[in-house]
C-alpha cells in the first residue's frame, strides 16, 4: 500500500486525511498550524517537518491548500515537495486553483520525473467528513488509474475530466453554478418572506420540483436558522470566482452573471463577513429588502 503525504489540514484537508487513515493508509502529514497536525497524528498519522521532508518519506503527496500561490510555494519553493521527491512520485493537488497554474506546476514536476494530477473537490466540510466528495480530475489516464483507489476513499464521484488543468476548469464551472444557485435562492426567499409567506413553507413547496437542487437542500436550512458558520467561506468562493473570471477572459468567454455575484460577495466581505459560509449571501438581499429569512419559531 502506498505511503501518502498529506499537506494542508484545514476545514477540508483534516477530515480527508482522517478518512485515508480509516482506510488503512500510512500518512505523513504537515500543516503550518500545529493544532490539526496533533489531531491527525492522534488518529494514527505521523508528522512531517515540511513539504520536502514529507515528500522524501512518501510515494504520493496530496496537497489541499487555499489557492494557486500556496500550491506553487509548497511544490516549487526551497524546501518544497520537488526538493524531496524521487522520480516516479505522484503529486495529487486537491486544492482549487487556476488551471494554468496546475499546468505550470505539472510541467516543472515532469522535469524531475514527478507526475501530477489536479483533483479539486466539491461538497464542502460535511462531504469531506463522510467521504462522499465529488472529485474532478485532470491528468494522464495511467496516473489517474494509479490513484483511483485512493481517491474513492475520499469521494463518491471521481471523474477524469481531461488533461492536467481540466479538473480545475471543471471545478470553476462547479463554483459558478453553486454561486449563482445561492444568489437565486437568496433572492427568491427574500422576495417570498417580504411578501408575507413563511420561508419554510416556500422551501417545502418547491424543493421537490424543477427549482429543487443540492444547493437548496444544503443551504436553505442554514439560512432559516441564521447559521453562517463555515463550511465553505465567502472569501474562498471569491477566490474561486476570481480564478473563473481570469480563466474565462484568457479563453474569451464573458461571464456576466458570475461578475454580478462576485460583486455581491465582495460587498459581504467588505461588511466583515468574508469568513462566514457562502450561504451568508442571503444577507446582501436581506439588507436591501430590510427583512430576514428565518424560521418563524
Contact in structure between 165 and 251 (CB atoms under 8 Å): no
The pLDDT of residue 115: 98
Identify whether 59 is part of a domain. yes
Whether residue 112 sits in one domain with residue 29: yes
Contact in structure between 244 and 254 (CB atoms under 8 Å): no
Whether residue 51 sits in one domain with residue 191: no
Whether residue 145 sits in one domain with residue 12: yes
* pLDDT at residue 297 greater than cutoff 90: no
Identify whether 269 is part of a domain. yes
The pLDDT of residue 156: 97
Whether residue 155 sits in one domain with residue 9: yes
Assign 61 a pLDDT band (cuts: 50, 70, 90): very high
Whether residue 18 sits in one domain with residue 100: yes
Whether residue 145 sits in one domain with residue 20: yes
Q: Using CB atoms within 10 A of its CB, is residue 209 exposed (0-12), middle (13-18) or buried (19+)? A: exposed
Whether residue 182 sits in one domain with residue 42: no
Q: Using CB atoms within 10 A of its CB, is residue 253 exposed (0-12), middle (13-18) or buried (19+)? A: exposed
Q: Report the alpha-carbon distance of residue 178 to residue 172 in Å, rounded.
A: 10
Identify whether 210 is part of a domain. yes
Looking at the structure of the chain, the number of domains it has is 2
Identify whether 240 is part of a domain. yes
Whether residue 152 sits in one domain with residue 258: no
The CATH number linked to 46 is 3.40.50.720
Identify whether 296 is part of a domain. no
* pLDDT at residue 14 greater than cutoff 80: yes
Choosing from 132, 148, 164, the residue where a domain stops is: 164
Q: Report the alpha-carbon distance of residue 200 to residue 180 in Å, rounded.
A: 21
Among residues of the chain, what percentage have pLDDT more than 90?
97
The pLDDT of residue 195: 98
The pLDDT of residue 82: 98
Active site residue 239: no
* pLDDT at residue 105 greater than cutoff 80: yes
Whether residue 260 sits in one domain with residue 241: yes
Mean pLDDT of 90-108: 97
Q: pLDDT tens digits, residue range 201-245?
A: 999 999 999 999 999 999 999 999 999 998 789 999 999 999 999
Whether residue 208 sits in one domain with residue 132: no
The pLDDT of residue 230: 85
Q: Report the alpha-carbon distance of residue 52 to residue 81 in Å, rounded.
A: 5
Choosing from 115, 137, 164, the residue where a domain stops is: 164
Q: Which residue has the cell 430590510?
A: 290
Q: Could you say which of 18, 171, 219, 239 is catalytic?
A: 171
Choosing from 109, 129, 164, the residue where a domain stops is: 164
The pLDDT of residue 1: 83
Contact in structure between 175 and 198 (CB atoms under 8 Å): no
Assign 83 a pLDDT band (cuts: 50, 70, 90): very high
Whether residue 212 sits in one domain with residue 152: no
The CATH number linked to 260 is 1.10.1040.10
Three state DSSP letters for 264-293: HHHHHHHHHHCCCEHHHHHHHHHHHHCCCC
Whether residue 31 sits in one domain with residue 154: yes
Identify whether 231 is part of a domain. yes
Mean pLDDT of 77-101: 97
Tell me which residue range forms the domain holding 175: 169-289
- Closest by CA to 73, choosing from 105, 41, 27, 48, is 105
- Closest by CA to 117, choosing from 151, 84, 85, is 151
The pLDDT of residue 231: 79
The pLDDT of residue 96: 96
Identify whether 90 is part of a domain. yes
How many CB atoms are located within 10 Å of the residue 211 CB?
A: 14
Tell me the CB-side half-sphere exposure of residue 272, using CA atoms within 13 A.
0
Mean pLDDT of the chain: 97
Amino acid at each position: 500500500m502506498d505511503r501518502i503525504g498529506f499537506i494542508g489540514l484545514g476545514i477540508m484537508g483534516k477530515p480527508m486525511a482522517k478518512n485515508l487513515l480509516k482506510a488503512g493508509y500510512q500518512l505523513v502529514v504537515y500543516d503550518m498550524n500545529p493544532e490539526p497536525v496533533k489531531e491527525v497524528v492522534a488518529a494514527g498519522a505521523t508528522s512531517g517537518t515540511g513539504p520536502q521532508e514529507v515528500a522524501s518519506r512518501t510515494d504520493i503527496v496530496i496537497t489541499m491548500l487555499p489557492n494557486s500561490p500556496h500550491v506553487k510555494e509548497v511544490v516549487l519553493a526551497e524546501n518544497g515537495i520537488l526538493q524531496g521527491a524521487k522520480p516516479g512520485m505522484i503529486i495529487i493537488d486537491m486544492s482549487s486553483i487556476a488551471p494554468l497554474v496546475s499546468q505550470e506546476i505539472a510541467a516543472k514536476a515532469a522535469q524531475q520525473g514527478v507526475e501530477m494530477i489536479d483533483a479539486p473537490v466539491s461538497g464542502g466540510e460535511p462531504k469531506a467528513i463522510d467521504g462522499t466528495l465529488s472529485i474532478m480530475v485532470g491528468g494522464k489516464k495511467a496516473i489517474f488509474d494509479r490513484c483511483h483507489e485512493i481517491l474513492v476513499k475520499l469521494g463518491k464521484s471521481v471523474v477524469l475530466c481531461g488533461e492536467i488543468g481540466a479538473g480545475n476548469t471543471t471545478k470553476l464551472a462547479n463554483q459558478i453554478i453553486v454561486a449563482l444557485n445561492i444568489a437565486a435562492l437568496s433572492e427568491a426567499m427574500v422576495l417570498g418572506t417580504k411578501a408575507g409567506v413563511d420561508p419554510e413553507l416556500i422551501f417545502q413547496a418547491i424543493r421537490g420540483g424543477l427549482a429543487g437542487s443540492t444547493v437548496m437542500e444544503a443551504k436553505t436550512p442554514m439560512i432559516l436558522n441564521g447559521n453562517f458558520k463555515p463550511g465553505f467561506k465567502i472569501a474562498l468562493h471569491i477566490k474561486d470566482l476570481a480564478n473563473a473570471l481570469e480563466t474565462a477572459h484568457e479563453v474569451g468567454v464573458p461571464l456576466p452573471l458570475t461578475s454580478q455575484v462576485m460583486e455581491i460577495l465582495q460587498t459581504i466581505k467588505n461588511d466583515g463577513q468574508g469568513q462566514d459560509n457562502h450561504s451568508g449571501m442571503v444577507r446582501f438581499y436581506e439588507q436591501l429588502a430590510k427583512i430576514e429569512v428565518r424560521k418563524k419559531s
